[in-house]
Every structure is written in C-alpha cells, then in structure tokens.
C-alpha cells in the first residue's frame, strides 16, 4: 500500500558521494548475500560511467527497511546531464541532498536543489565525508542554509532535517557527537520525514513515463511512477501521447524492483515505481492510463539546450578504414534512437544532407554521445561547439554559466586575468586554507577551450566546476585561440627527421610513423598564422655520414588530445575526425588553394 512506500532521489554535486552512499545503503539493507562479490559504485553500470567515475544516467533501485519499501533514484551530478535529474524529480516525494563536509555547496548543488525546491519537495540534508581531513560540517550546514534562503525556499523547506554521514564507512548520525556504526539514523530519518506518496489507488490507472530503455527479449520498456489506480500484467491499457493521440496496448510484462534487480510482478499499485512493456513507440513525458478514463498527467518542462555542433559524414581520405557505420542514413538512425531516451538533446537537419545540427546541455553532454557512437563503430566528423543565442524582448541574449574555481593563491592572478579577457564577472572570493574559492558569471562561449589552459596555468592544482546560470544580453566578441596550426601538405607517413625540424615551430600532435593526409592538423604553431608543412620529408642519403648526429634525433613527446580537449581546441574552419580507433584534427577544406579561395570569399 502507498503508506509503506517512500520515493526519494539522491541529488548532489559531482563527486560528493551519491553512488557510494547508495552502495552502503544496499549493503546494510541485507540485499546482498554474505559471500556475494560486490563491485564498487554498483549503480554506475555503463562502461563510460565506470571509467570516468561519474553518473550519466539516472537509475532506480529499491531497499526494504522493515515493513517499508524505499524506492531510490541515483541521479547524475554534472550540469550537462541536468535533463536526467529534472525528469526523475517528478517521480519522488523528497530528496536527499548530499553536500561534501569539506567543499560545501557547489554549482551543481545549487542547480539540482533549485529544481527540487521549485517542485515543492522537502529535502533531507546529508553532510557527507565527515571523516575527510579538513571537514567542517557545522560551517557547511550554515552554507547550505544560506543557499536555501538564496533559492527562495519556503518556511517548511527551510526547516530541513540534517544527517551527518560517511558513506565510505557506512555510518550516519543526527549530531556530530553521537556514536554510530551504521546508517540506521538515516533510514529512521527517511521513515519520519519523507511523506508517503500522495496518490489514490481507488481512481482510474495513471502512470507517468520518466525513463525509457530497450530490452532484447521484451522490446521497449518504460519506467515511471503510478500516480493513481493499479495495473496488472496482461491488462489492456492505453498510452496518451504528447499530442493527445491515444494508443491501445497490453501490458506484456510488469517489473518491480528488489534491490538492483528487476523482478516480474503480477500487480502494482499507486505510489510505486515500476517498469512495464508492451508498447513499441513510447516517449518520455507520456502517460499510461486506463481504457475507461484516458487522461494525461502534466509533465515537468525540461530546460532547453545551450550548445550546438554539427555532426557530419566523415569525408577524409581515411574514411571507412576503421569504422563500420559511415553513411548519413546510419548516423541519422543512431541519432533518432538517442532522441527517444536523451530528453535534453535536439537533432535538426541542415541544408546539406550529410550534416546534422545537434544541440545539447554542454560539451560533456555531446562528447559522451560521440564517445558512445565511436565505441559502437561509427565514424563521423564534428565541428566546433557553438552557443545557442536567443532573442528575448528584442535583445540578443546568450547563455551564461555560474563558474566556481578553487585555486592556490599563487595562480590566482593568472586565472582572474585570463577570465577577464573571456568577459567573466567575479561575484565572490573566499579564502579556504591556502586555496581561494573564486566565483564568476561567465558567457558559456568564454568557457569553450578554457579548461585545458586553466589546468596548464595552475599546474593541474586548480579545480573548476560550472552550471548553467541564465540567458543574459550578448557580451560582445571574445577572442578564440591565439595560435595557428601546423597543417600537413601531402599524404604519407611522418618521419622523425622532418618532425625534429618542425618541433621548434610549435607543439606537435603526432609522433613518427603516423600516416597523415593533406589538410590534417599535425601541431600547434608558435605564431598566430597557420603554417603548411611537410612532416613526411626524409633525410637525403649521401655517402658521407655525420658520426653520431644522425642517431641523436630526440623528439619531444607529442600532445595527444582526448575527445573533449580536441573539441575545445579546434577553430571555426576545423573539424575533429572521430573513428573507433583515432581522433584526428583537420581543416574543413583539405586543399590549400581551396582554403585560400574560401578565405577570400569570406573576407
């Protein structure tokens, strides 16, 4: 019955310990056998999540605590996956807001908290990592209270309960002085302070779809919360689509959650979070309803995308060597499939049939999509990310980001100066034990390409995080990359002798023995102009050999780009060529004469 159900989401900034806390709650609820081998961060299930240690997709599980069934949704911490957070908040009745006892509230904390307060949810604040060196839990509680006030929380929301925890050790307590060796105080707080779902089992069936997946055996499956009524496996129901169209179908499978596993159930009642199969075409935000009374439920609106880039068919001379899927039809089908589950993504056709305009919530959002595609065997080329401008009250506006930087004092001047040229405005500066926390509002354009520079300037010691702030009037021109690039003049294999002579011209991106083609970017020029070079030139052999000097060619290791770094580095007239095995940089026009003609036409 609904009285014994509690639906909660765990929200926090990236790396504040959401997934680790879920691990600890699962272990203490007795879901795993004594001798069962459990992976760390058991909820991060896909390969990229495991490699990067971040959560990308929101996931469900349920925990039994006595007679209580607690449905938990683990949400992403990155602003780029905010769409995932927004849609799951509609399923829950409260949130656990996790805050690091050392860092305090961060940009993403502000973002996800604002969304949950706007929906009228009453959060439970969990101050996590109290065992961390430098933890200052009492000070962090004050900072959280200030954040609630800033976000216009109502009186009930301001009276939030607090739990101090160490997810890693699996302990929680209500007061710092208390003794505790488990998470029982947290479970007790959920039982007391989270209201049962406000639903009516007696009314006709209604369920809101908030997640879609595909199962090889049973086809498309939809997950969501039942708001009213009950549903049985085998029953005939209808799907009310966004446009009002009504589709009849039969519930072929009904699945509930026991721990992490989906288990088949015969019947589910209002208040529960379940998954059902039986419909081919389902969209997020659509409603399952009873045949007698087919009415749709209201759906939370998702924030619009802020960044776009072009995905194109790979047209380089190396096209088709490493990938299986190359054509525009294959790329279109893949993007259409992505649209079904990725609610923050937009795909538009362009004048060119081989090019698609993709819009998303940030560089990371789009680069994870590209990374998934290349792992599946796709080859494509992508252009430089651009911000999406809007006209508001007759004025051109651009997206701005709320940027928080933690940087040692000695690098602070350089960082502030660099951000000044990128049109950032400082809003706050706080010293924290030899490290200063700087907060800025900066145009999203100003952040493109900044991360790599920032890590170089701070010798890798700085930490930066940002989240969407608002659309603000356009700030004017921001200078992009200052340096030109080194461009290969011919097709061939790079030679150590040629690279040795080129390395004093700038920074190389390739080593010896790498196949290159005309128009491929092989390095960064030390000067502002682009330079066409020949990396394949070998040494002319003569009978006279300089003793020792021929063997002494020493090459500086090349700079190898990750996908995100490559997207940040390129300029308007360049592309990143992405295949399952390689990431290459190239000019849009490979032929040098064609580039000159294009420049004249544009200039």
Sequence ranges of the binding site for GTP = 15-20, 128-131
In the three-class reduction of DSSP (H, G, I as helix; E, B as strand; rest coil), residue 491 is classed as coil
**CA distances (Å), 563 to each of 200, 253, 445, 585, in order?**
49, 40, 18, 10
Whose CA is closest to 177, among 187, 169, 167, 185? 185
Answer for the pair 573, 587: CB distance below 8 angstroms, yes or no.
yes
Residue-wise DSSP of 451-471: HHHHHHHTTT--EEEEEEEEE
How many Å apart are CA 91 and CA 86, to the nearest integer?
Answer: 10
| Packing angle, helices 107-118 and 137-150, rounded to 10 | 50
How far apart (Å, rounded) are the C-alpha atoms in residues 181 and 172?
8
* Cα distance between the two ends of the chain: 70
Angstrom distance (rounded) from CA 235 to CA 203:
16
- With vertex at residue 18, the alpha carbon angle to CA 13 and CA 22, rounded to the nearest 5 degrees, is 170
Q: What is the DSSP letter of 407?
A: E
Query: Taking a C-beta distance cutoff of 8 angstroms, is the pair 141, 127 a contact?
Result: yes
DSSP classification of residue 503: G
- Measured in residues, the chain has a length of 603
Calculate helix-pair angle for 409-421, 450-457, nearest 10 degrees. 150
- In the chain, what are the helix, strand and coil shares in percent, each to the nearest 5? 25, 35, 40
Distance between CA atoms of 125 and 160, rounded to whole angstroms?
7
159: number of Cβ within 10 Å: 10
CA–CA dist 325, 322 (Å, integer): 10
Q: Which two tokens stand for residue 152?
A: 């216009």
* The dihedral sign for the CA sequence 367, 372, 374, 378: negative
H-only helix segments in 1-46: 18-28
Quick one: which of 427, 341, 368 has its CA closest to 84?
A: 341
Helices (runs of H) and strands (runs of E) counted in the chain: 15, 35
What does the block give as tokens for 563? 């996908």
Cβ within 8 Å of residue 288, ≥6 positions away: 205, 206, 207, 209, 222, 224, 231, 237, 238, 239, 240, 276
User: Where is the binding site, in residues?
Assistant: 15-20, 128-131
The tokens for 181 are 């060796």
Residue 216 in tokens: 């090889």
Q: Output the CA–CA distances (angstroms, integers) from residue 28 to 6, 172, 234, in the order listed.
A: 17, 12, 35
């Amino acid at each position: 019955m609904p009285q014994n159900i509690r639906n909660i989401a765990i929200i926090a900034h990236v790396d504040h310990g959401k997934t680790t806390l879920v691990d600890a709650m699962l272990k203490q609820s007795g879901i795993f056998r004594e001798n069962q081998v459990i992976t760390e961060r058991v909820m991060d299930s896909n390969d990229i999540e495991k490699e990067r240690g971040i959560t990308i997709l929101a996931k469900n599980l349920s925990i039994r605590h006595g007679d209580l069934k607690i449905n938990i949704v683990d949400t992403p911490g990155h602003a780029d996956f905010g769409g995932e957070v927004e849609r799951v908040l509609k399923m829950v009745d409260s949130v656990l807001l996790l805050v690091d006892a050392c860092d305090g509230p961060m940009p993403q904390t502000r973002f996800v908290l604002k969304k949950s307060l706007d929906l009228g949810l009453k959060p439970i604040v969990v101050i996590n990592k109290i065992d961390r060196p430098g933890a200052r839990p009492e000070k962090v509680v004050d900072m959280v209270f200030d954040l609630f006030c800033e976000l216009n929380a109502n009186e009930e929301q301001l009276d939030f309960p607090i739990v101090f925890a160490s997810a890693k050790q699996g302990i929680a307590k209500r007061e710092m002085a208390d003794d505790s060796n488990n998470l029982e105080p947290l479970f007790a707080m959920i039982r007391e302070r989270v209201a049962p779902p406000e639903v009516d089992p007696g009314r006709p069936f209604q369920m809101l779809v908030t997640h879609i997946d595909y199962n090889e055996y049973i086809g498309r499956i939809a997950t969501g919360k039942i708001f009213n009524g009950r549903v049985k496996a085998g029953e005939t129901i209808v799907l009310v689509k966004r446009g009002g169209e009504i589709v009849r179908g039969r519930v072929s499978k009904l699945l509930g959650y026991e721990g992490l596993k989906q288990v088949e159930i015969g019947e589910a009642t209002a208040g529960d979070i379940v998954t059902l199969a039986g419909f081919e075409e389902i969209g997020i935000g659509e409603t399952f309803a009873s045949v007698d009374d087919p009415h749709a439920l209201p759906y939370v609106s998702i924030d619009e995308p802020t960044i776009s880039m072009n995905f194109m068919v790979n047209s380089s001379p190396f096209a088709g060597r490493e990938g299986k899927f190359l054509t525009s039809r294959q790329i279109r089908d893949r993007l259409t499939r992505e649209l079904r589950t990725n609610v923050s993504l937009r795909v538009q056709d362009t004048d060119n049939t081989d090019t698609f305009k993709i819009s998303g919530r940030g560089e990371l959002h789009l680069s994870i999509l590209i990374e998934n595609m290349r792992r599946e065997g796709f080859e494509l080329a992508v252009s430089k990310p651009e911000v999406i401008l809007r006209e508001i009250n007759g004025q051109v506006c651009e997206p701005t980001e709320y940027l928080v930087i933690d940087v040692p004092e000695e690098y602070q001047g350089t960082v502030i100066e660099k951000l000044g040229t990128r049109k950032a405005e400082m809003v706050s500066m706080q010293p924290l034990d030899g490290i200063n926390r700087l907060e800025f509002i900066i145009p999203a354009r100003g952040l493109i390409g900044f991360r790599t520079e920032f890590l170089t300037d701070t010798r890798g010691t700085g930490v930066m995080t940002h989240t969407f702030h608002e659309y603000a009037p356009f700030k004017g021109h921001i200078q992009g990359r200052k340096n030109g690039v080194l461009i290969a003049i011919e097709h061939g294999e790079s030679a150590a002798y040629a690279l040795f002579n080129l390395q004093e011209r700038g920074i190389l991106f390739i080593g010896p023995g790498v196949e290159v083609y005309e128009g491929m970017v092989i390095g960064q020029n030390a000067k502002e102009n682009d330079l066409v070079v020949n990396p394949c030139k070998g040494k002319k052999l003569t009978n006279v050999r300089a003793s020792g000097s021929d063997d002494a060619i020493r090459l500086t290791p090349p700079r190898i780009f990750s996908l995100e770094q490559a997207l940040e580095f390129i300029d308007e007239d360049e592309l990143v060529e992405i295949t399952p095995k390689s990431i290459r940089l190239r000019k849009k026009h490979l032929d040098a004469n064609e580039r000159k003609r294009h420049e004249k036409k544009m200039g």
